[in-house]
Chains A and B, each alone.
Chain A
C-alpha cells in the first residue's frame, strides 16, 4: 500500500521544486523598473482609497458553514457507495435516513431565505 504513495511524494517534491524555481528564476531574470504608480494596487486605474483590509458582508460565512455540513455528509457517503452492493436494502434505508435528516436542514435553510444572495 505504502509503495503506491512513493510516486506521489516524489511528484509532490518535483511539483514544489518546479513552482518555486520557476517563480524565483523569473523574478531574478525579469527587468526591474519600479515606479510609484506601478507599485500601487491596480483598481481600475483609480488611485486606491484606503487598504483592502475592510469588513465584508457575513453571507460568505453561511455558505462556508453549509459546505462543511455537506462535506462531512459526503465523507460518510463514500464508504457507503463503495460497499452499497454488499449492504443491500438495509444500507439503502440507513443512508436515506441520514440524508433525509440533512435535507431537512437544507429545506430549513431554504425556507429561512439564507440561500438568497441579496
Chain B
C-alpha cells in the first residue's frame, strides 16, 4: 500500500511544481521549479521499479539540461515576466501543443502496455532495469541507438554554429 501513497505524494508535488514553473514571474524560480519536477518524476520512476531510468533522469535532465537552462537565464539576465492578459493567441498554440504531446504520450504508454501483455517485450525475471534496457538497446533497437548519436552530433554542431556567430 505504501508505494501507492508515495506515488500520489511525488506526483502531486510534481504537478504543483509544474504549475509553479509556468506561474512564477522570475525565470530563475521557474527553472528551479522545473528541476523539482524532474526530481519528483525520478522518484516516481523508482516506485515503478525503473531505477536505471530514474538515475538517468536526474543525471541527464537535472544534471545537464537544466544547467543549460539556468545558464542561459543567468547569462542573458532575462528580465521578470510582466503580467499579461490570460488569453493571447500564442497561448492557445501552447495549449494545443501540450494536448498533442499528452495524446502522443498516452498512445505510447498504451502501446507499451499492449506490447508487454502480448509478450513482444519480455523483461527477464529478476533482471534489473539496466540489464533489461541494455539487452534490448544493443539488439532489437540498435538502429535507433546509433541514430541517437547522429542526433546528438547535429545538436553539437548547432550549438557551435549558434555560439560562434555571437563571438564574431
B99 located at the interface, meaning its Cβ lies under 8 Å from any Cβ of chain A in the complex: no
Would you call B75 and A80 a contact (CB within 8 A)? no
A74 to B47, CA, bound (A): 24
How many chain A residues touch B (CB < 8 A): the figure is: 47
- Whether the pair B74, A56 counts as a contact (CB closer than 8 A) is yes
- Choose among B63, B130, B146, B160 the residue that contacts A108 (Cβ–Cβ < 8 A): B160
Contact flags B149-168 to A (C-beta < 8 A → 1, else 0): 11011011101100110110
Q: Which residues of A contact B3 (CB under 8 A)?
A: 2
Point out the residues of chain A lying under 8 angstroms from B142, CB to CB. 94
The reply to whether A87 and B138 contact each other, CB–CB distance below 8 Å, is yes
Within 8 A of B (CB), among A56-98: 56-62, 64-69, 71-76, 78-80, 82-83, 87, 90-91, 94, 97-98
The size bracket of the interface on B is: 35 or more
Collect the chain B residues with CB atoms within 8 Å of residue A68's CB.
60, 64-65, 68, 155
A105 → B minimal CB distance (Å): 4
Whether A76 touches B145, Cβ cut-off 8 Å, given contacts A1-B51, A55-B76, A64-B71, is: yes
A65 touching B164, Cβ below 8 Å = no
Determine which of B148, B155, B163 lies in contact with A59 in the assembled complex, contact meaning CB atoms within 8 Å.
B163
- Tell me how far the C-beta of A118 lies from the nearest C-beta in chain B, rounded to whole angstroms: 8
A53: B residues at CB distance < 8 A? 77
Contact in complex: A73, B149 (CB < 8 Å): yes
In the assembled complex, the Cα of A82 lies from the Cα of B51 at a distance in Å of 15
Asked if B109 is at the interface of the complex by the 8 Å CB criterion, the answer is no
> A104 vs B166: C-alpha distance in the bound complex, in angstroms?
23
Q: How far is the CB of A61 from chain B (nearest CB, A)?
A: 6
What would 7 more interface pairs be, CB under 8 Å, given A67-B67, A90-B138?
A: A1-B128, A56-B74, A69-B156, A71-B60, A102-B152, A105-B156, A114-B160
14 A-B pairs whose Cβ atoms sit less than 8 Å apart in the complex: A1-B51, A5-B46, A60-B75, A65-B163, A67-B64, A68-B155, A78-B52, A78-B56, A79-B138, A82-B130, A101-B149, A105-B153, A105-B157, A109-B156
